[in-house]
Structure 1
């Protein structure tokens, strides 16, 4: 009998022909690593499931995966913000490792390696982190989204010391939950996709894997998850899920975006162009003055943001020129243009990708690593251009009134 048999960290749930042994772990605890190894060493299991998605699995098992990142494609596809959020989460883990000599996720890695050593199937049952972040983003009112993203990045860049309270939260949840804890505690809309949906998703994945096992449903499966998932996961397995595949697919879908917020940028463009037309109809001098205001305010604030990211001088100049134009075309962002110029001017080296994970562990590293700095250029250019658009718009309206 395992030494953790009678603790609250282990649950047994029978579903069909399979017994799922749910082992709750603390993602920052060496004791959890020992618990995982001890359970696998019993030889009582036919498969091991872990609270990982494919991307997190790759990051955990292949530290060099970042070297394969196509930065230009990231910018062009609009994934720069998601990559920044993922790097920020990784920076938090890196600071934990350096400050407490703890490597978050070691118990998951031990579960994977232990299963491989015994030639057992490894099931990745957590939802893709990108999907979870997108569903969190879509779940909150549109006016809160930008503040959540920038707040996440700012807090993770600025916090050089991880407090004892942070560690205690990690003992009951995971890196993702702890990072968003401040927001999720106050928002039911965030709490569901971040925590409850993942419990249901992992239960569906477990049942799906059992149903699709080539040798028939396994007899016993060890499920290694954060302790904070135990209650929800156990409840879903006991209640049962009628169609695990359909449930999984539903939880992977993106909620439809609200239509009218997408019209705001086009409405702003319409107002600005109308202002230009009115200005020129009154006098060419006024019209050119309005255009000058638009170019100067929008371009200057975008260039200022890019300069704060310590971009190449040509990137700063290009941002000044591009911002007034991209702001009149919502399909192209100033951040994408600025980021692309920065990539061309300072093409990241192999060493930049290789050192990226360590570099972003401290706020100064974001400015010294070429990959991280390009992402900052993307972010700051977008912020500067966005502010400039509205300030210039109010300036134009003020001249016309």
Structure 2
């Protein structure tokens, strides 16, 4: 059952009117009992105003109006993308609860609005704008809390084995450049990398053939798994055991290409092995199914019981004190401000709010003097703590510029520096544009992202994905209604994962975010590959690492002498 409605009389001494009062109904947003409680309370109280825990945007969407287009200038900014992803995942969890109990999320608020309209009662929207809430929620969380939340939600909405494999791929991408740089110190020789390169090329070729042939007899995940298994088998047996591709590699690929392909293949192979091991452990000691299946054992009506709600709120507060402050405490105060104002104006109000907010709002209604200033509850907020991302970004920029300047001051010929810069430009352009195109970007959009990637990769205030995204928005119309489409796709358990992912790319909002994200990822990968592979190749022309160090010291001395001469 929903909590019994409480009436908070007021206003306090000195208020403009003495006959205003607030009746609070605490609800669960996916509870049919809550819907009935709301309808009965409004009919019995016949208030002047029904206040609901909604902002204008969510209210308009509930009324069936066309969702507002998203502001591209906000959506394409790095932190805003993560805030949106957090909002989307939280929305998905609520949607799953609603599906499980056959109640549309927000049915309690919709019932309040419809009942008010039936009785000719005005509706007041008393919640803070959702975009401000999510932004402040994200800014208040620490990096560790953000990673825990995203990781926990990821395990909740997908097969945990998939998460393990994805982690393995990330480990592999990071390990590849490390193998190229330090592999020689642990016995990883060029001939060994040549064998790995041959095995990787055989695996790719076999996978492509199996995928093409398998398309005639297999569908969806079966076709994908057959291609992966067949490719790995061909690579291991034909490449590693029998060395069938060694001659081809030695003849057609140089040492530089062998180092790149071999080290990345070895890194990815090791990363996938790590991921598969993690997946096996998950399979042995935990469920491999999405956690939302545990909802079957939950009594949704208990969500409105005071003790249960208190425990849930305290658990979230322990997980993220800052996040709880923005998501719960600040909204309690914001709604409290709105209700106190209505009560002071002499209105009889029935306020329909989530059960988790009820206790906090009632405290403010009982003693409005404890309300924090409204100015402290609105607007955006900067993240707390040390901005390590910006510090690292500026450090990279300074190091990159210093490298070229010091070499120039040491007298390194212009042709060498131009070729080095050209390599930096090309590798960034290829990877940024290539991954943007892989995400479905138009050629013009991918080209713009690739063209600016060399510059944005050393500037912490810019990202190539922003430019690609702005170009894509000339042809895409994204709005918040896309979230519902994504939730519907993710909730379909009857289709293959590959088909669901393919359809998700047809949703403009998801496509835009993936285009932006993969463009940025491409630039990051290119920067790592440049340092790990390209830079050592060029350094060999001027004496290797020792030669570069000597020239940079010489450039520093020349710069100091020049500056001293100007100042004297």
Q: Same fold per TM (> 0.5)?
A: yes
- Tell me the secondary structure at the aligned position of residue 127 of structure 2: coil
Q: Which runs of 5+ in 2 are unaligned?
A: 12-17, 160-289, 305-311, 491-500, 540-547, 550-568
Cα pair 1:99 1:162 within 8 Å, conserved: no
- Tell me the secondary structure at the aligned position of residue 505 of structure 2: helix
Could you tell me how far apart the structure 2 residues matched to 1:127 and 1:303 are? 39
Evaluate the alpha carbon distance shift between residue 397 and residue 222 of structure 1 in structure 2; reply closer, same or farther with a 3 A threshold. farther
TM-superposed CA distance for 1:74, in Å, is 5.2
Question: Match of 1:69?
Answer: 69
Cα shift readout 1:260-287 (whole Å, capped 9, x = no counterpart):
7345433322221112223444344653
- Tell me the secondary structure at the aligned position of residue 27 of structure 1: coil
Question: Match of 1:291?
Answer: 421
Question: Does 2:26 correspond to 1:24?
Answer: yes
Cα pair 1:50 1:108 within 8 Å, conserved: yes
Higher helix proportion (structure 1 or 2): 2
Question: Once structures 1 and 2 are overlaid, which stretch shifts more, 330-339 or 260-269?
Answer: 260-269
- Tell me the secondary structure at the aligned position of residue 329 of structure 2: helix
Question: Match of 1:108?
Answer: 109
Could you tell me how far apart the structure 2 residues matched to 1:386 and 1:184 are? 35
Question: Does 2:339 correspond to 1:337?
Answer: no
Cα pair 1:319 1:338 within 8 Å, conserved: yes
Could you tell me how far apart the structure 2 residues matched to 1:182 and 1:385 are? 39
Cα pair 2:70 2:479 within 8 Å, conserved: no
Could you tell me how far apart the structure 2 residues matched to 1:168 and 1:202 are? 28
Question: Match of 1:176?
Answer: none
Question: Once structures 1 and 2 are overlaid, which stretch shifts more, 303-312 or 29-38?
Answer: 303-312
Task: Tell me the TM-score normalized by structure 1.
Answer: 0.77
Question: Match of 2:457?
Answer: 327
Question: Does 2:383 correspond to 1:381?
Answer: no
Cα shift readout 1:200-225 (whole Å, capped 9, x = no counterpart):
221112112333xxxx411x321111
Question: Once structures 1 and 2 are overlaid, which stretch shifts more, 162-171 or 354-363?
Answer: 162-171
Cα shift readout 1:285-320 (whole Å, capped 9, x = no counterpart):
653454245335533443354244233344334332
> Within 5 Å, which residues of 2 pair with 1:89-168?
89-141=90-142, 143-144=143-144, 147=147, 151=151, 158=158, 162-165=292-295
Task: Tell me the TM-score normalized by structure 2.
Answer: 0.57
Larger Rg: 2
Cα shift readout 1:60-84 (whole Å, capped 9, x = no counterpart):
223522xx41665555677555555
Evaluate the alpha carbon distance shift between residue 136 and residue 72 of structure 1 in structure 2; reply closer, same or farther with a 3 A threshold. closer
Question: Match of 2:363?
Answer: 235
Evaluate the alpha carbon distance shift between residue 301 and residue 191 of structure 1 in structure 2; reply closer, same or farther with a 3 A threshold. farther
Could you tell me how far apart the structure 1 residues matched to 2:453 and 2:313 are? 32
Evaluate the alpha carbon distance shift between residue 161 and residue 138 of structure 1 in structure 2; reply closer, same or farther with a 3 A threshold. closer
Pick aligned residue for 1:250 from 372, 376, 395: 376
Question: Does 2:324 correspond to 1:191?
Answer: yes
- Tell me the secondary structure at the aligned position of residue 21 of structure 1: strand
Cα pair 1:25 1:225 within 8 Å, conserved: yes
Question: Once structures 1 and 2 are overlaid, which stretch shifts more, 224-233 or 358-367?
Answer: 358-367
Question: Once structures 1 and 2 are overlaid, which stretch shifts more, 362-371 or 277-286?
Answer: 277-286
Question: Match of 1:360?
Answer: 486
Could you tell me how far apart the structure 2 residues matched to 1:171 and 1:377 are? 42
Please report the RMSD computed on the Cα atoms of aligned residues, expressed in angstroms. 3.9
Cα pair 1:80 1:375 within 8 Å, conserved: yes
TM-superposed CA distance for 1:133, in Å, is 1.4
Cα pair 1:199 1:229 within 8 Å, conserved: yes
> Within 5 Å, which residues of 2 pair with 1:244-323?
247-256=373-382, 261=387, 262=390, 264-280=392-408, 281=410, 282-284=412-414, 286-288=416-418, 290-323=420-453
Question: Once structures 1 and 2 are overlaid, which stretch shifts more, 277-286 or 131-140?
Answer: 277-286
TM-superposed CA distance for 1:31, in Å, is 1.1
TM-superposed CA distance for 1:125, in Å, is 1.5
Evaluate the alpha carbon distance shift between residue 355 and residue 130 of structure 1 in structure 2; reply closer, same or farther with a 3 A threshold. closer
Question: Once structures 1 and 2 are overlaid, which stretch shifts more, 90-99 or 38-47?
Answer: 90-99
Cα pair 2:7 2:23 within 8 Å, conserved: yes
Could you tell me how far apart the structure 1 residues matched to 2:158 and 2:314 are? 17
TM-superposed CA distance for 1:24, in Å, is 1.0
TM-superposed CA distance for 1:34, in Å, is 0.8
- Tell me the secondary structure at the aligned position of residue 267 of structure 1: helix
Could you tell me how far apart the structure 1 residues matched to 2:518 and 2:373 are? 39
Question: Match of 2:338?
Answer: 205
Cα pair 2:83 2:138 within 8 Å, conserved: no
Evaluate the alpha carbon distance shift between residue 385 and residue 147 of structure 1 in structure 2; reply closer, same or farther with a 3 A threshold. farther
Question: Match of 1:372?
Answer: 510
TM-superposed CA distance for 1:152, in Å, is 8.4
TM-superposed CA distance for 1:112, in Å, is 1.2
Q: Which runs of 5+ in 1 are unaligned?
A: 174-178
TM-superposed CA distance for 1:113, in Å, is 1.6
- Tell me the secondary structure at the aligned position of residue 319 of structure 2: coil
